[in-house]
Structure formats: structure tokens, C-alpha cells
Amino acid sequence: MEAFRPLGERRTLIRGSGPLVETVHGEVAWACGVFGGEVVREGSDDAGYDLVLDVVADGAWGDEGFAYGREGGRTTVTASGQRGLLYGLFHVVRLGGTAFQEDRPREGHRPAVALRMLDHWDNVDVHPVMGQVERGYAGGSLFWRDGRARGELERVRAYGRLLAACGINAVCVNNVNVHASEARLLTDRLGEVADLAAMLRPYGVRTHLSVTFAAPVVLGGLPTADPLDEAVRQWWSGAAARVYAAIPDFGGFVVKADSEGQPGPFTYGRSHADGANMLASALAPHGGTVHWRAFVYDHRQDWRDRSTDRARAAYDHFAPLDGEFADNAVLQVKHGPMDFQVREPVSPVFGAMPRTRLAVEVQATQEYTGQQRHVCWLGPMWSEVLRFRPAGEEGSAVGELAGGGLVAVSNVGDDPYWTGHPLAQANLYTFGRLAWQPSADPLRVLDEWIALTFPSAPKRLTEGLRPLLRGSWRTYEKYTAPLGVGFMVQPGHHYGPSVDGYEYSPWGTYHFADRDGIGVDRSAATGTGYAAQYAAPWAGVYESPATCPDELLLFFHHVPYAHVLHSGKTVIQHVYDTRFEGVEEVEEARRVWASLADLVGAERHARVAERYEEQVRGAREWRDQVNSYFLRKSGVPDARGRPIW
Amino acid sequence: MEAFRPLGERRTLIRGSGPLVETVHGEVAWACGVFGGEVVREGSDDAGYDLVLDVVADGAWGDEGFAYGREGGRTTVTASGQRGLLYGLFHVVRLGGTAFQEDRPREGHRPAVALRMLDHWDNVDVHPVMGQVERGYAGGSLFWRDGRARGELERVRAYGRLLAACGINAVCVNNVNVHASEARLLTDRLGEVADLAAMLRPYGVRTHLSVTFAAPVVLGGLPTADPLDEAVRQWWSGAAARVYAAIPDFGGFVVKADSEGQPGPFTYGRSHADGANMLASALAPHGGTVHWRAFVYDHRQDWRDRSTDRARAAYDHFAPLDGEFADNAVLQVKHGPMDFQVREPVSPVFGAMPRTRLAVEVQATQEYTGQQRHVCWLGPMWSEVLRFRPAGEEGSAVGELAGGGLVAVSNVGDDPYWTGHPLAQANLYTFGRLAWQPSADPLRVLDEWIALTFPSAPKRLTEGLRPLLRGSWRTYEKYTAPLGVGFMVQPGHHYGPSVDGYEYSPWGTYHFADRDGIGVDRSAATGTGYAAQYAAPWAGVYESPATCPDELLLFFHHVPYAHVLHSGKTVIQHVYDTRFEGVEEVEEARRVWASLADLVGAERHARVAERYEEQVRGAREWRDQVNSYFLRKSGVPDARGRPIW
């Protein structure tokens, strides 16, 4: 066994200068204050130090990367830039004691994705329907309250620290639906954004702003927001310049245009490339980026019209524009073609726009996945998306195609646990780590999160938690909307079941269940043609029920209830079985959590236990409503004769 | 042809004294100011007058009745009380020119029902979900705005005038759901109620107040609201005394207790008779009445539990208490067992409580009947209820059993037309007139309303309007929820179709449609036993699908889609046919209204025309959703091959 100094006696040397190096120094100094040890700034000799954190401006590791190694009783982190040093420090923290015990040859770490971003759907004014945080399930906003900047800047700084520890380097501080007060963050309320940016900057987190496409009209008093109008372009250039004067490292704009009622270039007969490029050009002189969301579809669809398919919309709108977007314009694409359902195919846009910078947008906030009252760790789902290869095995994975970044809708609020459900923190952490390395094994990331969250956890806790989180997404899928059919939620708030909740709505989200069968025919041969938006081999795989994966069957095909899945079960029996299994799995998870009471702080344990009660109730409600609905409609009894109401 | 003086030269004599006689005088003086003529106060000689309005305190016509006649070129109204004189004057107004042209032998008019009341579900504070007026579709409240008394007292006085012209003599000025601010109307905010009462009093309208059963706790600081607790009883006595000190003619309290979350005597293990009698005893010394609502049911029902039947609840809760209520306690019973659906059977409570003063509660505000965007004149429905004889042909009608009064939930707000939809005024007027005379022919009342609303209408207008309103209730029924099944509305706001909207909810409102059939078995033999709550002959009539009227079939029975109605049609074909017919009837009504454009003021015409657009849109949506739902579920095609989506 090698000799090494105990925690309280370790000596750390930090070399380099700049604000983020100060942050690193502050972190180490803080740790020394708590655990003992010493931190020294500068010095040419590494001898006698346990840890050396060094900035060497040779560019070898890029702005954010670092090299890590341990040899001769000394752990070293070498970065080419300040951010890299910060991430290197958090790498040491993640390794914990082993960073000071095990020799390791020098190895490089660099983020695979340059932009790793959280979008906050936080409103400045409390929205009469959506509240302070749209689709927020973790209390209020960290940034805004009742129309004003919240002003709790130390908390924002702590949030920046949390994000950096997860590897996240960008935050958009307001909702993509930009209402009247929020619009003004771009102009006369810019100071409030600058205050936030100042708190996030020390942790390497750049600030972005959602803006309204109509800003030149509503803020600038111009008669038009036409992106090709010279006055409009000048207005945006001026606005961008003023933003950068206040926030020199400002990240850029996020725009939801021509989407669910938001204004956009369609009003002026211009393309989305015209719109995005106009903003890109305003940002370019300052190094900023526009994130243009691809979530454009007809939300006033007539449910009677079966030829319109919302799933097609992003591809239909954007694929023809490939190559037309400016270099600093990023097209931000939801991971699936619909809207963050528990199961969707990967958006075909990722395979269709090789000449466009694409960002993948996922949803950490659990809008459709239990609203942080249900445990639903989304790591495996995101990993599946990021590892999906649109052109087949030989082609690139989505994680490699995401040159524009990885973006998650934030699941964080002013809740003491940050995320409402304490276990929902795992989604935040996993997102950050997958954004750093999209090919990472999500199960390993989960283990990291468990180890960091419960630092002195005995094996019983670790081994209890692991399966409970690992399986939670598939469990959630089991008791909710089956076989990729999606939705079936209560309209508006989207919590809890309502099988027909969106069936006769204008939102384009239908399952077409009748007494004989269910599902949406999206084949090219007989359906909406959505399957043909994929390249080979996927177009072929999805085209036929014979090759379509079970879990996406009803997304792509309308089949009889008696259709036999690859699993050997009929669709209807699958519906029943998975509903019963899902509930049993939640009941078992609740039991496991209860058994861990002595190993988790009382308050945290109670919070999770209370949410498991709600999850069990909710899962049973899903099971019973879905089963009753399909029994009533299909007339096919459960083969195992279990109670269906 | 008899000689009579033209309008502008008529002379009126008014005899009697008191505030309402002053009101009568003011009305006549106002008319003389507009049309010419002269009004004289007092005088023993009737000669030379065209109209004599006389109060003779002999009690012959009761407090509100009057005698009317015309002889020898003189019209006379003789009342025993001031209110009678006011109603007599409005009778003359209703007769219009004929009151001065046609001799008529002296005839007596007295209201059949002493209490003719409008309940306003107006909130003082804007409720976050329900708004200023719960279930209000006519703008804001006349009484309250944003937490304060609105203070537009002249408008309240004009409202009193409108009510008196309809025959209504009581108003409850706040919502039966009593929230924090509203509770205080009983105590420190009583002055605001007194201000309203002062404006309504000159038109013979007494003011009532909704109070919370928990008032002794929330306002009085007592530890309990137990109705048998002496301190509680004293608190209420004191509160009532203070109310009467401020409002000497105060009508009484309206109470929604143990209902949809409101507090009540159940909390203390007391009966509803205990609760009502305690309040009755506080009011009795001052001549006041408590209106105790019978709308008590389990609104947290489990939809899986088919043995609980919300329809049974009012009878089950209250029938055993018959004879236990104080003389000045009125049990206010919704006309049907559920909740103001377009079609329900008459509540069995009316046949089950002969020793209790019952009031019939109907809903003028069109919560479930088109929300004053659809034309739905409810006269025929209310008339059917009032003429229903719970004990069969030999027994009394509900209108005769309603010794406690007739109550409507108000459809009035601060809209310039009072009721949002100008034609919804017909409901207000019809309610008042049916309350005066429950046996009246509603079609005659409708004609009265048309004549009064369009005083110089040519025949084309009258004959256009008449069928359009007459048939509107049945039209609405046709395109919405079929055969008495009820609901099928969007949850929460209750506007527009959602066939399964309440199917898996805790509200007790289910249709149990499956692939084979639909309806709720409420028979005694095989169902919930609700049918047995009726006396003969109705228990027998409703018990069997063979005798149950078609329009209530699905309320009482679960039948196959192929079940043949008395009409000769199958249930499923009836569903399709009525949906198509309903839409056609609305389209025709829209056409008729459009053809009347030259006969109605432009603004009023436009308002109604715009609402017909919405009604046509809404009716088509109902048609298509209901038809698609049942085609998908039953698999039975429309016999006439019309498009079902």
C-alpha cells in the first residue's frame, strides 16, 4: 500500500491567474477551512504538494479541457485555460479519496460538446396560467419573483457552482415564451440580466437571453420586425451591442419564433433562416450565437384532418433550409419529433441537416414524466438519443452531430433540494455529464451522482438506490402511455392520465384508438409519410410493423389490439401487463426507499417518501384508467383476469 | 271602437304612501316626462283619470298581489300593499297599449310563490380560478370588483328595477362558495351589503347573504362552529341582530355546507337540520329565513366504485330529515339530482319531504348550456320541472310544492346587455315570470319577453325570433349530451365537448360507455337503486327501459347501442341523427338572425350574430367529437353515411 497524506494535511499548489483561477482557489481554500490542509498560490517547485492545479496557456487542452494524472504521490491537473482548471478541480472532487491514492498516467479530458446549456422557462411576471416557472416543479424561480429580479445573488452564485460541478457552461435565464416584461430584459431591464451574469461568470457559466422576434416593434417602436428590413437589422445590432457592453461574455439569444403563438419571420413572408441569420449577424461581431428553436408546428390543427402530422413539422420546415444558416446560428431541435414524451423516436432532423449546426434539446424538467413527483431518471433515454445513428451503424451518433450543443430545459427552482424531488437532481447531473461526454455510460454517471450525493453511503444505500433509479424511466413508461403512443395526459397541466385528453384537440397529438385498434399510421406506404423522413436504414425499419421496434410501434403504425409484438404478446395484453408491472415496480421502489430510512437524513427521506406515496397513487390511477379505457373499447379481457374497472 | 286618450295625454292617479309608492310615482313621472301625460298624487275622485293606482290596506291581495281591471275608460290597479302596487304598474306596462284600450273585468293577480330569488355567485375578491363571478358569462359583477364594493349604486338600483319588472323579489349578493373576504360581509364589511340593500329596497327586492358555516371560527374567533354549542348559537344571534340593525328588511342567509369542500355540521357530528335550525333560530326574531342548500354529495368519489351514485346523494342525505327543519328554514334543492345538466330527471327530493319547506333551484347562468355564447332558452325545461308531479297526476306539481321559493343562479353581470348574450335575457325574464306563476305557459312568457324587448317589432321580427328561441333548448340538447347522459364537457370550465372529460374523475359524473353500450344503471333491480327514490308512478316508469322516457334513458339505464328507443331508432342512430340535426338547427337559426339585420339595432344584431358564429362552430365540434367517439367505440356506421371523422 502506497503512502499518502490524510485529507486534513494535504497541500495544494495553484498556478495561474484570472477570475476563474480565483474561483478555484476559493473552492480549495474553503475545503481546507472545513477539512484542514493548505493551499498555496504560485511557486515553481511542485515538491511537497499533494495536488497541483496548473494553467499552462499552451492551448493543448482547449479552453475547457484538462489533463489529469497522479505519480509519485502527487496529483496534477493541467489546463490550458481557466475553465479547464475549474473542471479539473471538480474532476478531482468527483474522484474523491482515490484522487490521492491511486497513481494514474496522465490522461486528457475535454468536453465533446462545446455548449452545455440549461434553458430556464422562468417568467419574470407570474403568468396567470403557467405561473412563475412554466412547467416548473421545483418551487419558484431562482432569478425572478412577482415581476422583479429576485435579487438573491448569492444563491445564483451557488447555482453557478452547482452547474459547473455538473459540467454545464451556459444558462438561458428566461422563458422561451417571452411576454411583455420579459421582452424588456433585452433593453431597459438589461441590468438585471447583467447582475445574474456576474454571479454565474466565476463558475464559467455564460448567460443567454430569450428574446421575442417582435422586439423591434414592441420595444423599438418600429413598424415592422421584418428580418430583411434595414432599420430592423440596425435595431438588433444596436441591441446586441448594448447587451455586450453590459455583459462582455454574453452567450447569445434563444428564440422561439412562429411557434405556439410566438411571433416570427413567417409574418413577413421570410424564412426561418432569414430570421435566424439576422440575429446571428447582430451577434457575430461580439462572438455571440443565436439558438433558434425548431419547434415549429401547427398548434391549431383540426383533429378531423388526418393528413396533417405534427411529427413531420420540424423536418418539413427546416430540412429544406440546410446550409442556409449562418455559422453562429444554431438550430435547437427537440430530441423527438413531438414534445418530450416518455418515448419518441429520435427526430429525423438530426440526419437531415449536415450543413447546419444543430443543438439537441432535452427536457430535464419532468413535464410529461411525472413532474418531479414521480421518480423518472432520464439518463437512459437521453443516452439512447445521443447514441442514435441517423445514417446507421457507419454514420455519426446524434451526440457527435450536435455541434451546436446540448440543451436541457431546467428542472431547478428555489426548492431547498433545487429540484423538488431530491432524486430528480440525478437528471440535472446526468444531463451535464452526458453533455460533456455523450457516449458516456449513463449507469456510470448515475453511480457518480449517488456517490457524490451520499458521500459516505454504506453499500446498502448505494445498492438500494441504484436499481430504484436505473429502472425508473422504464417503470414510468410502463404505467403511462404505451408503445410510443405518447400523451394521454390531462390537458393543460399534463399531470395524470386522460386517455382522450388530447384526442379531439387542436394540438396534433392523437392516438386514434377505436374498438379495433390503436396508433398512428406514419408509414410512407399508407400513412402520413413521416417514416420516410429518416434515412436508411431507419426509414425501412420504421416503415413496417414487422421491423418497427415494439416500444415505438404505435408511434408509427395503427394496429389491431390482437397484433402480436416481437415480445410475443398482443398489443392489448401488453397494455394490461405493463400497467400492472409498472405499479408493482413503483410499490417495490417505495418499499426499498422506506427500508433506507436509517441511512438518509430524516428530512430528505421524508420528502422522497411522501413523493413515493403520490407516485404509487398516480401510477395506480394511470393503470386503472388506461386499462379500463382499453377494456371498454377493445372488449378483450385481461388474460390473467386481474381487476380492471 | 272605444274612445281612449293617446299615450301623451293620459292622466294617472296614484293613492297610497310609502317608499315603494314613491317608486311607482317615480316610474310614472318618468314615463310622463318621456311620453307626455300627467301624474297626480292622492285624490278621492277617480273621474278624469285614465289610470288609477291605489293602495287599499285591506289585505285582500296580500303583500304582493293586486287587482287589475278596466271599465268606463279607466284602468285601475288596486293593491293591498306597496309591492303589489309596483307589480301592478309593471303589469300595466306589460299590457302596453291594450291596458288603455280593452275593457277587462277586475281580475286578481298574486304570485304563487312568495320567494322569487336570484343567487349571485359573485366573488368579492377575484378568485384565481373562478374569477370575479363563478360561472359568470356576462362580464364582471354588478356588486364587487377586485376585492371591493364596486360602488356603482345607480346601476344596482337599475338592476333592482329590472328584477321587479320580472317579478323577482330577492337577491343573494355573494357566491355560495364563501371565501375569506366574502365571509366578512357578515361582520365588518356589512355596510357594503347595506348599501346594496338600500338600492334594491325601492323595487321590493330584499337582500340575502351567503355565509360560511365556519363564521364563528373564522370571524368570531371561537374554537368551534358546532351548531349545538351555546357560544356558537349566541355568536350567530348577535351576528343576525347586527345585520338587521343595518338592513331591517334583510332576507336571510344562504348556506352551502358540507358541499364541495365548504365547512358544515358534519365536522361536529351534527345533522344538516341541526345546522340549518341553529341559523334559523338566529334569524327568527327578525323574520329572516335560512336557505340551506341540499347540494351535498361526495365530490371525492372513486370512479372505480360503481356502488356510489351521486344522483342519490341529496335524497339520501335529506329525506330522512323531513320534519326536522324549523319553519324559517328552507331546503334549497337543485331541480335535478346532478348539476344543472341540459336534461335530468326532476329531483326525487321534491316528492320526499312533505313536512319541509323546499325551494327549487335552477340555473339561469348557462354553465352547462352554452355559457351565454349559445342560445339556449331554458323556459321549457324549467316549466317541465315546475309542472312535474312527484306523486303522479293526482298529486301536486313541483311548482306547488316549492313553498320555500324559486331560486335561480343569476345570469347577470356588468355586460351592457346585462346577460352577455342579448337573447339570454329571455332566461332571466322567464325565470321571474315562472316564479310568479309556475303553471304559466312558457311560450306565452317568451312572447311577452319578445314584445317587451322589441316594443315596436314588426311581425317579421317577432315571427323570426319566436321559433329561434322556442326550440333552442332542444337544439342544444341535440348536439350535446344525448338521452339524459349529461356532462361530456371539458373539465373545469365546462365549455365544449370532452366525452370522457369526467369519466375517470372523482366527481361522480360517468356515462360508462364501452364498445357495447352506454348509460348508468340506476334501476332498483340491477343498478344503484336511484329509481326507487321516486314514489309511484315514477319509480316504476323509470325502473324499466321499456317505460323510461327516451330523453332520460341513459340517465337510468345502461343499454346496448342497438337498443331501440320508443322513437323507433336505435340509440347509436339517435346519437348520430340528433348531432347532425342540432347543427343544422343552429345553422338555420344563424341564417334567420342574419335575415333580421334590418329590424334590430346594429350593435345588438352584431353581438348576437357574432355569438351565433361561435355557436355554429361549437355545435359542429360537439357533433364531430361525439359522433367520432361513438363510431370509434361502437363500430356502428351512420345509417345515412354522413361524414364522421
Q: What is the pLDDT of residues A235-275, one digit of tens each?
A: 999 999 999 999 999 999 999 999 988 899 999 999 999 99
User: Which amino acid does the sequence have at B178?
Assistant: V
Tens digits of per-residue pLDDT, B403-419? 999 999 999 999 999 99
Task: Return mean pLDDT, chain B.
Answer: 96
Phi, psi dihedrals of residue B278, rounded to the nearest 5°? -60, -45
Stretch A113-119: mean pLDDT:
97
- Percentage of residues of chain B with pLDDT beyond 90: 94
| Low-confidence winner among A549-558, B56-65, B619-628 (lowest mean pLDDT) | B56-65
Are A303 and B645 within 8 A, CB to CB?
yes
| pLDDT higher than threshold 60 for residue A277 | yes
Enumerate long-range contacts of B244-248, CB under 8 Å, 24 or more apart: B244/B286, B244/B288, B246/B190, B246/B191, B246/B193, B246/B194, B247/B190, B247/B193, B247/B194, B247/B197, B247/B207
| pLDDT higher than threshold 50 for residue A39 | yes
B415 is catalytic: no
pLDDT bucket at B150, cuts 50 / 70 / 90 = very high
pLDDT bucket at A3, cuts 50 / 70 / 90 = low
CATH fold of the domain at A116-453: TIM Barrel (3.20.20)
pLDDT bucket at B162, cuts 50 / 70 / 90 = very high
Vertex A425 angle, CA A582 and A178, to 5°: 100
Region(s) of chain B under CATH 3.30.379.10: 7-109
Tens digits of per-residue pLDDT, A571-621? 999 999 999 999 999 999 999 999 999 999 999 999 999 999 999 999 999
Specify the pLDDT at position B510.
Answer: 96
Point out the catalytic residue in the list B339, B414, B477, B585. Answer: B339
User: Which amino acid does the sequence have at B521?
Assistant: D
What residues in A contact B624, CB-CB < 8 Å?
A: 304, 504
Specify the pLDDT at position B8.
Answer: 86
| pLDDT higher than threshold 60 for residue A465 | yes
Which residue in B499, B621, B635 is closest to A500 by CB distance? Answer: B499
| pLDDT higher than threshold 60 for residue A641 | yes
- Return d(Cα A450, Cα A427) in angstroms, integer: 12
Nearest Cα neighbor of B640 from B570, B536, B588, B589 is B570
| pLDDT higher than threshold 50 for residue B225 | yes
Specify the pLDDT at position B59.
Answer: 86
Specify the pLDDT at position B566.
Answer: 97
Point out the catalytic residue in the list B361, B367, B477, B551. Answer: B367
- Mind telling me how many Å the CA of A628 is from chain B's nearest CA? 9
Stretch A64-74: mean pLDDT:
95
Tens digits of per-residue pLDDT, B448-469? 999 999 988 899 999 999 999 9
pLDDT bucket at A1, cuts 50 / 70 / 90 = very low
Specify the pLDDT at position A281.
Answer: 98
Nearest Cα neighbor of B412 from B364, B450, B374 is B364
Tens digits of per-residue pLDDT, A409-457? 999 999 999 999 999 999 999 999 999 999 999 999 999 999 999 988 8
- Mind telling me how many Å the CA of B620 is from chain A's nearest CA? 11
- Return d(Cα B172, Cα B254) in angstroms, integer: 7
| pLDDT higher than threshold 70 for residue B3 | no
Q: Residue B50 in 3-state DSSP?
A: coil
Tens digits of per-residue pLDDT, B385-404? 999 999 999 999 999 999 99
Cα atoms in the Cβ-side hemisphere of radius 13 Å centred on A290 = 31
- Return d(Cα B188, Cα B547) in angstroms, integer: 56
User: Which residues share a beta bridge with B360?
Assistant: B333, B406
Provide CB contacts within 8 A for A508, sequence distance 6+.
Answer: A297, A298, A299, A301, A308, A309, A310, A313
Which residue in A499, A621, A624 is closest to B500 by CB distance? Answer: A499
Place of cell 432532423: A349
A-B Cβ pairs (cutoff 8 Å, strict): 55
Cell representation of residue B175: 357566491
Which residue in A500, A504, A515 is closest to B634 by CB distance? Answer: A515
| pLDDT higher than threshold 70 for residue B333 | yes
- Mind telling me how many Å the CA of B125 is from chain A's nearest CA? 16
Specify the pLDDT at position B43.
Answer: 83
- Mind telling me how many Å the CA of B374 is from chain A's nearest CA? 20
Cell representation of residue A450: 449517488
Stretch B178-193: mean pLDDT:
97
Specify the pLDDT at position A43.
Answer: 83
Tens digits of per-residue pLDDT, B460-497? 999 999 999 999 999 999 999 999 999 999 999 999 99
| pLDDT higher than threshold 80 for residue B1 | no
Cα nearest neighbour of A501 on chain B:
B501
Q: Is B302 on the interface with A (CB under 8 A)?
A: no
Stretch B304-308: mean pLDDT:
91
Give A477-520+558-634's CATH code, choosing from 3.90.1330.10, 3.30.750.24, 3.20.20.150, 3.30.460.80.
3.90.1330.10
| pLDDT higher than threshold 60 for residue A14 | yes
Query: Computed from CA positions of residues A47, A50, A55, A60, in that sequence, does the dihedral angle turn out positive or negative?
Result: positive
CATH architecture, range B7-109: 2-Layer Sandwich (3.30)
Tens digits of per-residue pLDDT, B66-113? 999 999 999 999 999 999 999 999 999 999 989 999 999 999 999 999
Tens digits of per-residue pLDDT, A544-557? 999 999 999 999 99
Region(s) of chain A under CATH 3.90.1330.10: 477-520+558-634
Stretch B157-179: mean pLDDT:
97
Tens digits of per-residue pLDDT, A333-378? 999 999 999 999 999 999 999 999 999 999 999 999 999 999 999 9
Beta strand B405-409 with B116-119: parallel, antiparallel or unpaired?
A: parallel
Q: Residue A15 in 3-state DSSP?
A: strand
Place of cell 344563424: B590
Tens digits of per-residue pLDDT, A501-552? 999 999 999 999 999 999 999 999 999 999 999 999 999 999 999 999 999 9
- Return d(Cα B1, Cα A77) in angstroms, integer: 116
| pLDDT higher than threshold 60 for residue B2 | no
Tens digits of per-residue pLDDT, A147-206? 999 999 999 999 999 999 999 999 999 999 999 999 999 999 999 999 999 999 999 999
CATH of domain B116-452: 3.20.20.80
Phi, psi dihedrals of residue B105, rounded to the nearest 5°? -65, 150
User: Which amino acid does the sequence have at A472?
Assistant: S
**Chain B 462-521, CB below 8 Å of chain A: which residues?**
490-491, 497-500, 504, 513-516
Tens digits of per-residue pLDDT, A74-98? 999 999 999 999 999 999 999 998 9
Are B629 and A500 within 8 A, CB to CB?
yes
